[in-house]
Structure 1
């Protein structure tokens, strides 16, 4: 299964530093709102911790929103990258040493996004791309419940830009696997040059990422089974 469930956010008070890519997604959420009152209500629900865990799959986002004695189910859809666009993005990540390490560390380089856009790969969404539905059956979608979920999505993406890639159809595991396969296909000529050094550095970044992903999977599996995972931390 490719779906990943992210823990719910605790209530938030006051403002926090926001990375540029999260602000870009927040602007798209503002564009998606039909009315400013809906947006304010959605943000209030999000800041109050009324949104449950966010489940992200390729092209879809699900969450429950609690309001009073009611709980509403929200579904958000976003177009995914084509296989060709995903392959192009993998090449762009591999093109410069440090890019995969940056993504794994929670950083989305502005230059990487610009290079992707120049290559026809749109990572950051715009308001019209969001397709929302809610069990409250409000005529205007996204409703305040949907906007609450989207608001928390901007927080999640701010902490982990790979969540945006997953929503766009390229999961963390697939990205790392594609980068790993690419490094295995890279020919060597037996001479150490600038390109070889860059390839070796990129390969090292991928190996670190693969190890980190495997370790995280073991920790999550241990937590689900109630095991003591402190030696793995």
Structure 2
């Protein structure tokens, strides 16, 4: 559950390349420009409840002058082969795990993942949504507004995108840890890699505790 976003002013384009790519997909999915204008206004209004993100799906409550609606949608998840290929791509270069945990999505990581057959960023036709409102367009303005807010979440933390694609933070770190594998003999390079993954796991847990306002001194 990602908390309700406060009302925003302005119409500035996203600052990161991956958020702009997400926004392009939202614009491709819209029926017309009028829907996009209304959706951007609604997204900035502060009248969208907390967004629940799960593997391949999202849901949120949206309020407007016509009432309170429930909007849900889907994004295709990565299959097992794509998940494995992505984990190998992340593990192929040092610093990629730290970048993801720091809220960055390296462009070369996405390019190398695409070379391995893994498409992370969706296109418009992959953003399916339904709503309890009576609009005949799909996605409706409410769904487009939620998709805009998802773009904000993805910009702040690209792991939200991975979660939508079926790979949560915990699963990613666990798979990376498993990918490192046990070493039967002392190996300085392997030890460094093991230490890096352990640090990544501790960092992820610390972020969760910090978000909950709980102490995490025991992780240090």
Structure-2-length-normalised TM-score: 0.91
- Using the TM superposition, name which of 204-213 and 173-182 deviates more: 204-213
* Equivalent residue, structure 1, for 2:49: 52
**Which residue of 108, 117, 121 corresponds with 2:118?**
121
Q: 1:12 to 1:34 in 2, by over 3 A?
A: same
Conserved? CA contact 1:76–1:133, under 8 Å: yes
1:77 aligned to 2:74? yes
Question: Which whole-Å deviations, capped at 9, do the CAs of 1:33-83 have from their partners, x for residues lacking one?
Answer: 001111110110001112111101110010111102611100010110001
Deviation at 1:203, TM superposition (A): 3.2
1:208 aligned to 2:204? no
* Equivalent residue, structure 2, for 1:135: 132
d(CA) in 2 for partners of 1:77, 1:40: 22
Gaps of 5+ in 2: none
1:10 aligned to 2:24? no
Q: 1:214 to 1:36 in 2, by over 3 A?
A: same
* Equivalent residue, structure 2, for 1:21: 18
The DSSP-based 3-state class of the residue aligned with 1:25 is: helix
Q: Figure out how many residues of one structure are paired with residues of the other and give that number.
A: 216
d(CA) in 2 for partners of 1:101, 1:188: 26
Structure-1-length-normalised TM-score: 0.86
The DSSP-based 3-state class of the residue aligned with 1:6 is: coil
Deviation at 1:189, TM superposition (A): 6.1
1:66 aligned to 2:60? no
Deviation at 1:151, TM superposition (A): 0.3
Conserved? CA contact 1:80–1:169, under 8 Å: yes
Conserved? CA contact 1:64–1:74, under 8 Å: yes
What is the CA RMSD across the aligned residues, in angstroms?
2.0
- Using the TM superposition, name which of 34-43 and 201-210 deviates more: 201-210
Conserved? CA contact 1:157–1:163, under 8 Å: yes
d(CA) in 2 for partners of 1:191, 1:218: 33
Conserved? CA contact 1:63–1:73, under 8 Å: yes
